[in-house]
Structure 1
Amino acid sequence: METLLLNREDVGENARMDEVIVAVEEAFAAYQHGNVQMPAKSYIDLPQYNGDFRSMPAYMDAGDWDAAGVKWVNVHTDNPENHDLPTVLGTMIYSDPTNAFPLALMDGTTLTRKRTGAAAAVATDHLAVAGASSLGIVGAGIQSHTQLEAISVVRDIETVVVADKRADAVERFIEVYGDEFDIRGGSIGEAASCDVLSTVTPVESPIVDHEDVGEHTHINAMGADAPGKNELDEEIVTNAKLVIDDYEQCT
Protein backbone atom coordinates (compact mmCIF):
# COMPACT_ATOMS: atom_id res chain seq x y z
CA MET A 1 0.00 0.00 0.00
CA GLU A 2 1.12 3.53 -0.72
CA THR A 3 0.25 6.84 0.86
CA LEU A 4 -0.88 9.52 -1.57
CA LEU A 5 0.85 12.88 -1.12
CA LEU A 6 -1.47 15.63 -2.32
CA ASN A 7 -0.16 19.19 -2.46
CA ARG A 8 -2.04 22.46 -2.75
CA GLU A 9 -2.48 22.15 -6.51
CA ASP A 10 -3.76 18.57 -6.24
CA VAL A 11 -6.35 19.51 -3.62
CA GLY A 12 -7.32 22.69 -5.44
CA GLU A 13 -7.92 20.90 -8.74
CA ASN A 14 -9.75 17.87 -7.39
CA ALA A 15 -11.82 19.35 -4.56
CA ARG A 16 -14.30 21.28 -6.70
CA MET A 17 -16.36 23.72 -4.71
CA ASP A 18 -19.75 22.45 -5.88
CA GLU A 19 -18.76 18.92 -4.85
CA VAL A 20 -17.27 20.07 -1.53
CA ILE A 21 -20.60 21.74 -0.69
CA VAL A 22 -22.44 18.45 -1.27
CA ALA A 23 -19.87 16.54 0.79
CA VAL A 24 -20.14 18.97 3.70
CA GLU A 25 -23.94 18.85 3.63
CA GLU A 26 -23.88 15.04 3.64
CA ALA A 27 -21.38 15.07 6.52
CA PHE A 28 -23.62 17.38 8.56
CA ALA A 29 -26.54 15.02 7.96
CA ALA A 30 -24.49 11.96 8.90
CA TYR A 31 -23.43 13.66 12.12
CA GLN A 32 -27.02 14.46 13.06
CA HIS A 33 -27.98 10.83 12.39
CA GLY A 34 -25.29 9.63 14.79
CA ASN A 35 -22.99 8.18 12.14
CA VAL A 36 -20.04 10.42 12.95
CA GLN A 37 -17.60 10.59 15.82
CA MET A 38 -16.23 14.14 15.99
CA PRO A 39 -14.80 15.33 19.31
CA ALA A 40 -14.65 19.07 19.82
CA LYS A 41 -11.41 20.47 18.45
CA SER A 42 -8.57 20.82 20.95
CA TYR A 43 -6.40 23.93 21.16
CA ILE A 44 -2.80 24.76 21.95
CA ASP A 45 -2.60 28.50 22.57
CA LEU A 46 0.65 30.27 21.70
CA PRO A 47 0.19 33.92 22.73
CA GLN A 48 3.93 34.54 22.44
CA TYR A 49 3.55 33.92 18.68
CA ASN A 50 0.07 35.47 18.41
CA GLY A 51 -1.26 32.13 17.27
CA ASP A 52 -2.56 28.67 18.11
CA PHE A 53 -2.73 25.07 16.95
CA ARG A 54 -5.94 23.04 16.62
CA SER A 55 -6.37 19.26 16.38
CA MET A 56 -9.54 18.11 14.63
CA PRO A 57 -10.18 14.33 14.40
CA ALA A 58 -13.28 12.66 12.96
CA TYR A 59 -14.67 9.32 11.85
CA MET A 60 -17.71 8.84 9.61
CA ASP A 61 -19.60 5.64 8.83
CA ALA A 62 -21.13 6.26 5.42
CA GLY A 63 -22.67 2.84 4.85
CA ASP A 64 -20.84 1.32 1.88
CA TRP A 65 -17.60 2.96 3.02
CA ASP A 66 -16.25 4.69 6.07
CA ALA A 67 -13.50 7.20 6.64
CA ALA A 68 -11.27 8.58 9.35
CA GLY A 69 -8.96 11.56 9.45
CA VAL A 70 -7.40 14.30 11.47
CA LYS A 71 -6.52 17.87 10.56
CA TRP A 72 -3.68 19.72 12.26
CA VAL A 73 -4.27 23.40 11.64
CA ASN A 74 -3.23 26.76 13.03
CA VAL A 75 -4.19 30.43 13.11
CA HIS A 76 -1.19 32.76 13.31
CA THR A 77 -2.42 36.27 12.57
CA ASP A 78 1.06 37.75 12.08
CA ASN A 79 2.08 35.24 9.40
CA PRO A 80 1.34 37.33 6.29
CA GLU A 81 3.18 40.39 7.53
CA ASN A 82 6.08 38.78 9.40
CA HIS A 83 6.69 35.48 7.61
CA ASP A 84 5.07 35.82 4.17
CA LEU A 85 2.87 32.84 5.03
CA PRO A 86 -0.91 32.37 5.17
CA THR A 87 -2.64 33.04 8.49
CA VAL A 88 -4.04 29.50 8.39
CA LEU A 89 -1.89 26.48 7.53
CA GLY A 90 -3.05 22.90 7.73
CA THR A 91 -2.21 19.26 7.08
CA MET A 92 -4.81 16.51 6.69
CA ILE A 93 -4.17 12.81 7.35
CA TYR A 94 -6.78 10.53 5.78
CA SER A 95 -6.70 6.95 7.12
CA ASP A 96 -8.28 3.57 6.44
CA PRO A 97 -10.39 2.85 9.55
CA THR A 98 -10.06 -0.93 9.12
CA ASN A 99 -6.30 -1.01 9.63
CA ALA A 100 -5.27 2.62 10.30
CA PHE A 101 -3.09 2.79 7.17
CA PRO A 102 -2.60 6.44 6.10
CA LEU A 103 -4.21 6.56 2.67
CA ALA A 104 -3.33 10.19 2.02
CA LEU A 105 -1.39 13.07 3.46
CA MET A 106 -2.77 16.23 1.92
CA ASP A 107 -2.60 19.99 2.01
CA GLY A 108 -5.07 21.05 4.67
CA THR A 109 -4.74 24.77 4.01
CA THR A 110 -6.67 24.64 0.75
CA LEU A 111 -9.03 22.06 2.25
CA THR A 112 -9.75 24.36 5.21
CA ARG A 113 -10.57 27.28 2.95
CA LYS A 114 -12.89 25.23 0.79
CA ARG A 115 -14.58 23.49 3.72
CA THR A 116 -15.17 26.79 5.54
CA GLY A 117 -16.72 28.33 2.45
CA ALA A 118 -18.80 25.22 1.81
CA ALA A 119 -20.15 25.18 5.38
CA ALA A 120 -21.34 28.76 4.93
CA ALA A 121 -22.89 27.83 1.59
CA VAL A 122 -24.82 24.92 3.13
CA ALA A 123 -26.18 27.21 5.85
CA THR A 124 -27.00 29.92 3.32
CA ASP A 125 -28.77 27.47 1.02
CA HIS A 126 -31.07 26.26 3.81
CA LEU A 127 -31.60 29.48 5.75
CA ALA A 128 -31.22 32.57 3.54
CA VAL A 129 -34.14 34.04 1.62
CA ALA A 130 -34.61 32.38 -1.74
CA GLY A 131 -33.99 35.54 -3.75
CA ALA A 132 -30.85 36.63 -1.90
CA SER A 133 -28.64 38.52 -4.35
CA SER A 134 -26.35 40.65 -2.17
CA LEU A 135 -23.49 39.39 -0.01
CA GLY A 136 -21.67 41.35 2.67
CA ILE A 137 -18.27 40.14 3.84
CA VAL A 138 -16.50 41.47 6.92
CA GLY A 139 -12.83 40.60 6.75
CA ALA A 140 -11.05 40.49 3.40
CA GLY A 141 -8.50 37.80 4.24
CA ILE A 142 -8.12 34.58 2.30
CA GLN A 143 -11.17 32.99 3.93
CA SER A 144 -13.33 35.70 2.39
CA HIS A 145 -12.53 34.37 -1.08
CA THR A 146 -14.10 30.97 -0.55
CA GLN A 147 -17.10 32.59 1.15
CA LEU A 148 -17.93 34.29 -2.13
CA GLU A 149 -16.97 31.32 -4.29
CA ALA A 150 -19.15 28.93 -2.30
CA ILE A 151 -22.16 31.12 -1.53
CA SER A 152 -22.43 32.15 -5.18
CA VAL A 153 -22.97 28.47 -5.99
CA VAL A 154 -26.19 28.32 -3.92
CA ARG A 155 -27.50 31.86 -4.50
CA ASP A 156 -27.42 34.15 -7.52
CA ILE A 157 -25.13 36.75 -5.95
CA GLU A 158 -24.89 39.99 -7.92
CA THR A 159 -23.69 42.63 -5.43
CA VAL A 160 -20.85 42.19 -2.92
CA VAL A 161 -19.82 44.65 -0.19
CA VAL A 162 -16.47 43.97 1.48
CA ALA A 163 -15.47 45.63 4.75
CA ASP A 164 -11.94 45.54 6.12
CA LYS A 165 -9.74 48.08 7.86
CA ARG A 166 -6.98 47.11 5.43
CA ALA A 167 -7.67 48.97 2.20
CA ASP A 168 -5.11 46.89 0.32
CA ALA A 169 -6.91 43.66 1.24
CA VAL A 170 -10.18 45.05 -0.10
CA GLU A 171 -8.43 46.14 -3.29
CA ARG A 172 -6.95 42.66 -3.80
CA PHE A 173 -10.36 41.08 -3.31
CA ILE A 174 -11.93 43.39 -5.88
CA GLU A 175 -9.12 42.67 -8.34
CA VAL A 176 -9.80 38.94 -8.14
CA TYR A 177 -13.60 39.01 -8.43
CA GLY A 178 -14.43 42.42 -9.89
CA ASP A 179 -15.01 41.09 -13.40
CA GLU A 180 -17.54 38.51 -12.19
CA PHE A 181 -19.48 40.45 -9.54
CA ASP A 182 -20.46 44.03 -8.74
CA ILE A 183 -18.04 44.48 -5.83
CA ARG A 184 -17.22 47.52 -3.74
CA GLY A 185 -15.56 48.28 -0.47
CA GLY A 186 -17.81 49.57 2.29
CA SER A 187 -18.39 49.88 5.98
CA ILE A 188 -19.30 47.00 8.28
CA GLY A 189 -22.78 48.49 8.51
CA GLU A 190 -23.17 48.44 4.72
CA ALA A 191 -22.00 44.84 4.56
CA ALA A 192 -24.38 43.85 7.38
CA SER A 193 -27.40 45.21 5.53
CA CYS A 194 -26.97 42.73 2.65
CA ASP A 195 -29.18 39.67 2.15
CA VAL A 196 -26.33 37.43 3.34
CA LEU A 197 -23.51 38.42 5.69
CA SER A 198 -20.35 36.40 6.28
CA THR A 199 -17.99 37.51 9.04
CA VAL A 200 -14.49 36.04 8.81
CA THR A 201 -12.39 37.88 11.38
CA PRO A 202 -10.46 36.84 14.53
CA VAL A 203 -11.86 39.63 16.72
CA GLU A 204 -12.82 39.14 20.38
CA SER A 205 -15.12 42.17 20.67
CA PRO A 206 -18.31 42.58 18.59
CA ILE A 207 -17.92 44.61 15.40
CA VAL A 208 -21.34 44.04 13.80
CA ASP A 209 -24.06 46.20 15.38
CA HIS A 210 -27.62 44.90 15.59
CA GLU A 211 -28.99 48.13 14.11
CA ASP A 212 -27.07 47.54 10.88
CA VAL A 213 -28.42 44.06 10.15
CA GLY A 214 -31.28 43.87 7.67
CA GLU A 215 -34.66 42.38 8.59
CA HIS A 216 -34.04 39.16 6.66
CA THR A 217 -30.24 39.10 6.66
CA HIS A 218 -28.77 35.62 7.03
CA ILE A 219 -25.46 35.65 8.96
CA ASN A 220 -22.61 33.19 8.66
CA ALA A 221 -20.53 34.04 11.74
CA MET A 222 -17.47 32.10 10.68
CA GLY A 223 -14.80 33.86 12.72
CA ALA A 224 -16.10 32.98 16.19
CA ASP A 225 -14.43 29.56 16.29
CA ALA A 226 -12.79 29.61 19.73
CA PRO A 227 -13.53 30.71 23.31
CA GLY A 228 -13.40 34.48 23.67
CA LYS A 229 -14.07 35.26 20.02
CA ASN A 230 -17.20 37.19 19.13
CA GLU A 231 -18.00 39.21 16.01
CA LEU A 232 -21.68 39.92 16.68
CA ASP A 233 -23.48 42.37 18.93
CA GLU A 234 -25.18 40.58 21.83
CA GLU A 235 -28.61 41.71 20.61
CA ILE A 236 -28.04 39.95 17.31
CA VAL A 237 -27.24 36.67 19.05
CA THR A 238 -30.14 36.87 21.52
CA ASN A 239 -32.74 37.92 18.94
CA ALA A 240 -31.73 35.79 15.98
CA LYS A 241 -32.72 32.25 15.16
CA LEU A 242 -29.53 30.31 15.90
CA VAL A 243 -28.70 27.22 13.85
CA ILE A 244 -25.55 25.29 14.81
CA ASP A 245 -23.80 22.13 13.69
CA ASP A 246 -22.44 20.91 17.03
CA TYR A 247 -23.68 21.94 20.48
CA GLU A 248 -20.50 21.17 22.43
CA GLN A 249 -18.25 22.91 19.95
CA CYS A 250 -20.55 25.92 19.64
CA THR A 251 -20.99 26.48 23.36
Structure 2
Amino acid sequence: MTLLLTEGQVEELIDMPATLDAVEAVLRQQAEGRATNRARRRVALPKSGLNVMFAGAPEIDALGLKAYTVARGGARFYTMLFDPETGGLLSILQSDKMGQMRTGAASGVATRHLAREDARTLGIYGAGWQAESQLEAIAAVRDLERVIVYSRNEQSRKRFAAKMGERLGMDIETTHAAEEPAAQDIVVTVTSSGGPVLHGEWLRPGTHVNAAGSNFLFKTEIDREVVKRAAFVCADAREELGLEAGDLMPSLETGAILPEAVYELGQVIAGHVPGRKSPEDITLFASQGLALEDLAAARVVYDRAVERGVGQKIEF
Protein backbone atom coordinates (compact mmCIF):
# COMPACT_ATOMS: atom_id res chain seq x y z
CA MET A 1 0.00 0.00 0.00
CA THR A 2 1.14 3.55 -0.78
CA LEU A 3 0.44 6.41 1.57
CA LEU A 4 -0.64 9.75 0.09
CA LEU A 5 0.13 12.78 2.24
CA THR A 6 -1.13 16.29 1.47
CA GLU A 7 0.58 19.59 2.27
CA GLY A 8 -1.65 20.09 5.28
CA GLN A 9 -0.86 16.65 6.66
CA VAL A 10 2.87 17.11 6.09
CA GLU A 11 2.78 20.43 7.91
CA GLU A 12 1.11 18.79 10.91
CA LEU A 13 3.69 16.00 11.03
CA ILE A 14 6.98 17.85 10.49
CA ASP A 15 8.89 20.00 12.96
CA MET A 16 12.27 21.69 12.98
CA PRO A 17 14.08 19.70 15.73
CA ALA A 18 13.43 16.38 13.98
CA THR A 19 14.30 17.85 10.57
CA LEU A 20 17.59 19.26 11.89
CA ASP A 21 18.60 15.87 13.30
CA ALA A 22 17.55 14.01 10.16
CA VAL A 23 19.40 16.34 7.79
CA GLU A 24 22.55 16.29 9.92
CA ALA A 25 22.53 12.49 10.11
CA VAL A 26 22.06 11.94 6.38
CA LEU A 27 24.80 14.45 5.47
CA ARG A 28 27.15 12.54 7.78
CA GLN A 29 26.18 9.31 6.01
CA GLN A 30 26.88 10.95 2.66
CA ALA A 31 30.36 12.04 3.79
CA GLU A 32 31.12 8.56 5.06
CA GLY A 33 30.05 6.92 1.80
CA ARG A 34 26.88 5.43 3.22
CA ALA A 35 24.37 7.47 1.20
CA THR A 36 24.12 8.49 -2.44
CA ASN A 37 22.88 11.76 -3.93
CA ARG A 38 22.39 12.89 -7.52
CA ALA A 39 22.17 16.54 -8.44
CA ARG A 40 19.02 18.19 -9.75
CA ARG A 41 18.20 17.76 -13.41
CA ARG A 42 16.07 20.30 -15.24
CA VAL A 43 13.83 20.31 -18.30
CA ALA A 44 12.82 23.77 -19.51
CA LEU A 45 9.85 24.35 -21.81
CA PRO A 46 8.51 27.67 -23.12
CA LYS A 47 5.84 27.93 -20.43
CA SER A 48 6.95 25.52 -17.72
CA GLY A 49 9.81 23.46 -16.36
CA LEU A 50 10.40 20.14 -14.61
CA ASN A 51 13.08 19.55 -11.97
CA VAL A 52 13.98 16.12 -10.57
CA MET A 53 16.40 15.11 -7.77
CA PHE A 54 17.34 11.55 -6.67
CA ALA A 55 18.98 9.94 -3.63
CA GLY A 56 19.28 6.82 -1.52
CA ALA A 57 20.14 6.35 2.15
CA PRO A 58 19.80 2.71 3.20
CA GLU A 59 20.46 3.38 6.90
CA ILE A 60 17.24 5.38 7.16
CA ASP A 61 15.38 3.10 4.73
CA ALA A 62 15.03 5.89 2.20
CA LEU A 63 15.24 5.72 -1.58
CA GLY A 64 13.48 8.11 -3.88
CA LEU A 65 13.15 11.39 -5.64
CA LYS A 66 11.66 14.83 -5.48
CA ALA A 67 10.06 16.26 -8.60
CA TYR A 68 8.62 19.71 -9.04
CA THR A 69 7.20 21.78 -11.84
CA VAL A 70 7.45 25.53 -12.25
CA ALA A 71 4.89 27.35 -14.37
CA ARG A 72 2.95 30.60 -14.46
CA GLY A 73 0.65 29.33 -11.71
CA GLY A 74 3.58 28.66 -9.37
CA ALA A 75 5.58 25.61 -8.30
CA ARG A 76 4.25 22.18 -7.33
CA PHE A 77 6.43 19.80 -5.30
CA TYR A 78 6.13 16.02 -4.84
CA THR A 79 8.39 13.47 -3.16
CA MET A 80 8.24 9.74 -3.85
CA LEU A 81 9.63 7.56 -1.07
CA PHE A 82 10.49 3.93 -1.88
CA ASP A 83 11.46 0.98 0.28
CA PRO A 84 15.17 0.35 -0.51
CA GLU A 85 14.79 -3.38 0.22
CA THR A 86 11.72 -4.24 -1.83
CA GLY A 87 11.52 -1.28 -4.20
CA GLY A 88 7.90 -0.73 -3.20
CA LEU A 89 6.47 2.78 -3.29
CA LEU A 90 5.90 3.73 0.35
CA SER A 91 4.55 7.23 -0.02
CA ILE A 92 3.84 10.19 -2.27
CA LEU A 93 4.13 13.42 -0.33
CA GLN A 94 3.28 16.95 -1.35
CA SER A 95 6.54 18.67 -0.54
CA ASP A 96 6.41 22.46 -0.51
CA LYS A 97 6.46 22.78 3.29
CA MET A 98 8.88 19.90 3.62
CA GLY A 99 11.29 21.59 1.22
CA GLN A 100 11.10 24.83 3.17
CA MET A 101 11.89 22.99 6.40
CA ARG A 102 14.82 20.98 5.05
CA THR A 103 16.35 24.11 3.48
CA GLY A 104 16.17 25.88 6.82
CA ALA A 105 17.50 22.79 8.58
CA ALA A 106 20.56 22.65 6.29
CA SER A 107 21.46 26.20 7.30
CA GLY A 108 20.80 25.30 10.92
CA VAL A 109 23.17 22.34 10.70
CA ALA A 110 25.82 24.50 9.01
CA THR A 111 25.42 27.11 11.74
CA ARG A 112 25.69 24.45 14.45
CA HIS A 113 29.06 23.30 13.08
CA LEU A 114 30.57 26.48 11.64
CA ALA A 115 29.34 29.50 13.61
CA ARG A 116 31.23 30.53 16.73
CA GLU A 117 29.90 28.92 19.90
CA ASP A 118 29.27 32.39 21.32
CA ALA A 119 27.41 33.64 18.23
CA ARG A 120 24.29 35.41 19.49
CA THR A 121 23.19 37.79 16.71
CA LEU A 122 21.62 37.02 13.34
CA GLY A 123 21.19 39.19 10.26
CA ILE A 124 18.78 38.08 7.55
CA TYR A 125 18.52 39.29 3.96
CA GLY A 126 15.03 38.39 2.76
CA ALA A 127 11.65 38.39 4.46
CA GLY A 128 9.75 35.76 2.50
CA TRP A 129 8.47 32.29 3.30
CA GLN A 130 11.87 30.64 3.02
CA ALA A 131 13.34 33.10 5.50
CA GLU A 132 10.96 31.78 8.16
CA SER A 133 12.55 28.34 8.37
CA GLN A 134 16.04 29.85 8.20
CA LEU A 135 15.32 31.83 11.35
CA GLU A 136 13.56 28.94 13.06
CA ALA A 137 16.46 26.56 12.42
CA ILE A 138 19.21 28.94 13.51
CA ALA A 139 17.27 29.89 16.63
CA ALA A 140 17.17 26.17 17.46
CA VAL A 141 20.98 25.82 17.42
CA ARG A 142 22.10 29.16 18.89
CA ASP A 143 20.69 31.24 21.74
CA LEU A 144 19.94 34.38 19.75
CA GLU A 145 19.87 37.73 21.50
CA ARG A 146 19.35 39.89 18.43
CA VAL A 147 17.74 39.26 15.02
CA ILE A 148 17.65 41.97 12.37
CA VAL A 149 16.00 41.66 8.95
CA TYR A 150 16.49 43.57 5.72
CA SER A 151 14.44 43.36 2.55
CA ARG A 152 13.75 45.85 -0.21
CA ASN A 153 10.07 46.02 0.76
CA GLU A 154 9.47 47.69 4.13
CA GLN A 155 6.01 46.16 4.58
CA SER A 156 7.34 42.66 3.91
CA ARG A 157 10.08 42.89 6.50
CA LYS A 158 7.69 44.32 9.09
CA ARG A 159 5.18 41.52 8.46
CA PHE A 160 7.97 38.98 8.78
CA ALA A 161 9.21 40.49 12.05
CA ALA A 162 5.72 40.50 13.57
CA LYS A 163 4.88 36.96 12.46
CA MET A 164 8.15 35.31 13.45
CA GLY A 165 8.53 37.35 16.60
CA GLU A 166 5.20 36.04 17.82
CA ARG A 167 5.97 32.45 16.73
CA LEU A 168 9.40 32.30 18.38
CA GLY A 169 8.74 34.64 21.30
CA MET A 170 11.50 37.11 20.47
CA ASP A 171 11.89 40.69 19.33
CA ILE A 172 12.90 40.98 15.69
CA GLU A 173 14.27 44.24 14.33
CA THR A 174 13.96 45.53 10.79
CA THR A 175 16.22 47.92 8.96
CA HIS A 176 16.39 49.91 5.72
CA ALA A 177 20.21 49.90 5.87
CA ALA A 178 21.44 47.02 3.70
CA GLU A 179 24.79 46.75 5.46
CA GLU A 180 23.39 46.36 8.99
CA PRO A 181 22.48 42.62 8.94
CA ALA A 182 26.01 41.87 7.70
CA ALA A 183 27.44 43.18 10.98
CA GLN A 184 25.97 40.25 12.96
CA ASP A 185 27.60 37.00 14.12
CA ILE A 186 25.52 34.89 11.71
CA VAL A 187 24.25 36.14 8.34
CA VAL A 188 21.68 34.54 6.03
CA THR A 189 20.84 35.47 2.46
CA VAL A 190 17.55 34.00 1.25
CA THR A 191 16.11 36.31 -1.38
CA SER A 192 14.79 36.24 -4.93
CA SER A 193 17.45 38.69 -6.07
CA GLY A 194 19.48 37.85 -9.15
CA GLY A 195 22.42 39.95 -7.99
CA PRO A 196 24.43 40.32 -4.78
CA VAL A 197 22.61 41.60 -1.70
CA LEU A 198 25.52 40.87 0.64
CA HIS A 199 28.92 42.48 0.11
CA GLY A 200 32.03 41.04 1.67
CA GLU A 201 33.35 44.41 2.79
CA TRP A 202 30.41 44.63 5.24
CA LEU A 203 31.30 41.44 7.11
CA ARG A 204 33.08 41.41 10.46
CA PRO A 205 35.77 38.86 11.38
CA GLY A 206 34.26 35.74 12.93
CA THR A 207 31.01 35.81 10.95
CA HIS A 208 29.32 32.70 9.61
CA VAL A 209 27.34 33.15 6.36
CA ASN A 210 24.56 30.90 5.04
CA ALA A 211 23.90 31.74 1.38
CA ALA A 212 20.61 29.92 0.87
CA GLY A 213 18.65 31.66 -1.86
CA SER A 214 20.45 30.67 -5.07
CA ASN A 215 20.36 27.34 -6.88
CA PHE A 216 20.96 28.58 -10.42
CA LEU A 217 24.33 29.30 -12.02
CA PHE A 218 23.23 32.76 -13.16
CA LYS A 219 21.90 33.83 -9.75
CA THR A 220 24.12 35.03 -6.93
CA GLU A 221 23.22 36.70 -3.62
CA ILE A 222 26.78 37.31 -2.43
CA ASP A 223 29.64 39.09 -4.14
CA ARG A 224 33.10 37.70 -4.78
CA GLU A 225 34.50 39.55 -1.78
CA VAL A 226 32.41 37.33 0.55
CA VAL A 227 34.04 34.24 -0.94
CA LYS A 228 37.47 35.87 -0.97
CA ARG A 229 37.28 36.74 2.73
CA ALA A 230 35.99 33.33 3.78
CA ALA A 231 38.60 31.13 5.45
CA PHE A 232 36.37 28.10 4.92
CA VAL A 233 33.81 27.48 2.16
CA CYS A 234 31.47 24.50 1.88
CA ALA A 235 28.37 23.42 -0.01
CA ASP A 236 25.86 20.59 0.34
CA ALA A 237 27.68 18.65 -2.38
CA ARG A 238 30.69 19.44 -4.58
CA GLU A 239 28.87 17.77 -7.47
CA GLU A 240 26.77 20.91 -7.77
CA LEU A 241 29.66 23.35 -8.27
CA GLY A 242 29.40 23.38 -12.04
CA LEU A 243 25.64 22.92 -12.14
CA GLU A 244 23.91 25.14 -9.60
CA ALA A 245 26.27 26.96 -7.24
CA GLY A 246 25.68 30.45 -8.59
CA ASP A 247 26.97 32.06 -5.41
CA LEU A 248 30.39 30.48 -5.99
CA MET A 249 30.56 30.50 -9.79
CA PRO A 250 32.02 34.03 -10.27
CA SER A 251 34.83 33.17 -7.85
CA LEU A 252 35.42 29.76 -9.43
CA GLU A 253 35.50 31.22 -12.95
CA THR A 254 38.09 33.85 -12.03
CA GLY A 255 40.25 31.52 -9.95
CA ALA A 256 39.55 33.46 -6.76
CA ILE A 257 38.72 30.07 -5.26
CA LEU A 258 39.61 26.64 -6.63
CA PRO A 259 37.08 23.79 -6.70
CA GLU A 260 39.41 21.81 -4.41
CA ALA A 261 39.00 24.51 -1.76
CA VAL A 262 35.22 23.99 -1.57
CA TYR A 263 34.29 21.26 0.88
CA GLU A 264 31.05 19.47 1.68
CA LEU A 265 29.11 20.23 4.84
CA GLY A 266 28.94 16.51 5.57
CA GLN A 267 32.75 16.39 5.76
CA VAL A 268 32.62 18.89 8.61
CA ILE A 269 29.87 16.96 10.40
CA ALA A 270 31.83 13.71 10.06
CA GLY A 271 35.03 15.34 11.32
CA HIS A 272 36.91 14.85 8.05
CA VAL A 273 37.76 18.56 7.79
CA PRO A 274 37.90 21.05 10.66
CA GLY A 275 35.72 23.87 9.30
CA ARG A 276 36.23 26.86 11.56
CA LYS A 277 39.79 27.02 12.90
CA SER A 278 39.74 30.41 14.60
CA PRO A 279 37.21 32.75 16.22
CA GLU A 280 38.29 35.32 13.63
CA ASP A 281 37.52 33.11 10.61
CA ILE A 282 34.69 33.99 8.26
CA THR A 283 32.93 30.78 7.20
CA LEU A 284 30.54 30.29 4.28
CA PHE A 285 27.93 27.65 3.53
CA ALA A 286 26.55 27.81 -0.03
CA SER A 287 23.26 25.92 0.23
CA GLN A 288 21.87 24.34 -2.92
CA GLY A 289 19.51 21.71 -1.52
CA LEU A 290 19.94 17.96 -1.87
CA ALA A 291 17.53 15.13 -2.55
CA LEU A 292 19.13 13.39 0.44
CA GLU A 293 17.85 16.19 2.66
CA ASP A 294 14.38 15.83 1.16
CA LEU A 295 14.35 12.07 1.71
CA ALA A 296 15.57 12.42 5.29
CA ALA A 297 12.68 14.80 6.02
CA ALA A 298 10.25 12.58 4.09
CA ARG A 299 11.23 9.57 6.17
CA VAL A 300 10.46 11.49 9.37
CA VAL A 301 7.08 12.54 8.02
CA TYR A 302 6.21 9.08 6.68
CA ASP A 303 7.12 7.29 9.93
CA ARG A 304 5.02 9.73 11.95
CA ALA A 305 2.12 9.37 9.52
CA VAL A 306 2.16 5.59 9.89
CA GLU A 307 2.40 5.84 13.67
CA ARG A 308 -0.50 8.28 13.89
CA GLY A 309 -2.68 6.81 11.16
CA VAL A 310 -2.52 9.91 8.96
CA GLY A 311 -2.89 9.89 5.15
CA GLN A 312 -4.78 8.03 2.48
CA LYS A 313 -3.76 4.46 1.57
CA ILE A 314 -3.98 3.45 -2.06
CA GLU A 315 -2.98 0.34 -3.99
CA PHE A 316 -1.55 0.38 -7.48
Common fold: TM-score over 0.5: yes
Report the alpha carbon displacement of residue 7 of structure 1 after superposing the two structures with TM.
1.5
CA distance in 1 between counterparts of 2:44 and 2:186 reads: 32
Q: Secondary structure in 1 aligned to 2:38?
A: coil
The CA deviation at 1:118 is: 0.3
Give the aligned partner of residue 229 of structure 2: 239
Query: Moved runs in structure 1, 4+ residues, more than 6 A?
Result: none
Deviates most, 31-40 or 180-189: 180-189
Match of 1:132, SS state, is: coil
State the distance in 2 between where 1:35 and 1:170 align: 41
SS at 1:68 equivalent: strand
Tell me: CA distance 1:4–1:29, structure 2 relative to 1, closer, same or farther (3 Å). same
> Gapped runs of 5+ residues in structure 2?
243-316
Compared with structure 1, are the counterparts of its residues 45 and 194 closer, same or farther at alpha carbon in structure 2 (3 Å cutoff)?
farther
Instruction: Please say which of residues 145-154 and 97-106 is displaced more in the overlay.
Output: 97-106
Q: Counterpart of 1:178?
A: 165
How many Å separate the matches in 2 of 1:171 and 1:239? 31
Superposed CA deviations along residues 43-87 of structure 1, whole A, max 9, x for unmatched, are: 2345x55x753211111121xx531111113566xx7xxx5x6xx
Residue 104 in structure 1 maps to residue 91 in structure 2 = yes
For 1:142, the equivalent position in structure 2 comes to: 129
Q: In structure 1, what residue type is equivalent to 2:11? A: G
3-state SS of paired residue (2:138): helix
Identical aligned residues as a percent: 33
* Cα separation, partners in 2 of 1:45 and 1:4, compared to 1, 3 Å: same
Task: Tell me the distance in 2 between the aligned counterparts of 1:75 and 1:144.
Answer: 20
Distance 1:139 1:75 in 2: 21
Contact 2:119 2:186 in 1 (8 A): yes
The question of 1:71 aligning with 2:73 is answered: no
Question: For 1:228, what is the secondary structure of its paired residue?
Answer: coil
Runs of 5+ consecutive residues of structure 1 not aligned to the other structure:
none
State the Cα RMSD in Å.
1.9
Note closer, same or farther for the CA distance 1:75–1:146 as it changes in structure 2 (3 Å cut). farther
SS at 1:21 equivalent:
helix
Report the CA distance between 1:224 and its aligned residue. Answer: 2.1
Count, aligned residues: 238
Instruction: Say if 1:74 and 1:123 are closer, same or farther in 2 by CA, change over 3 A.
Output: farther
The equivalent of 2:184 in structure 1 is: 194
Q: Secondary structure at the match of 1:145?
A: helix
CA distance in 2, matches of 1:75, 1:168: 27
The amino acid that maps onto 1:154 is V
**Matching residue's letter, 2:27:** F
Amino acid of the residue matched to residue 129 of structure 1?
Answer: R
TM-score of the pair, normalised by structure 1: 0.88
Offset at residue 171 of structure 1 (A): 2.0
1:113 shift after superposition? 0.5
The answer to whether the Cα contact below 8 Å between 2:58 and 2:84 also exists between their aligned partners in 1 is no
- Counterpart of 2:10? 11
TM-score normalised by the chain length of structure 2: 0.71
C-alpha distance in 2 between matches for 1:45 and 1:137: 31
Q: Distance in 2 between matches of 1:44 and 1:250?
A: 19
Higher relative contact order (CA 8 A, sep 6+): 2
Q: 2:285 corresponds to which residue?
A: none
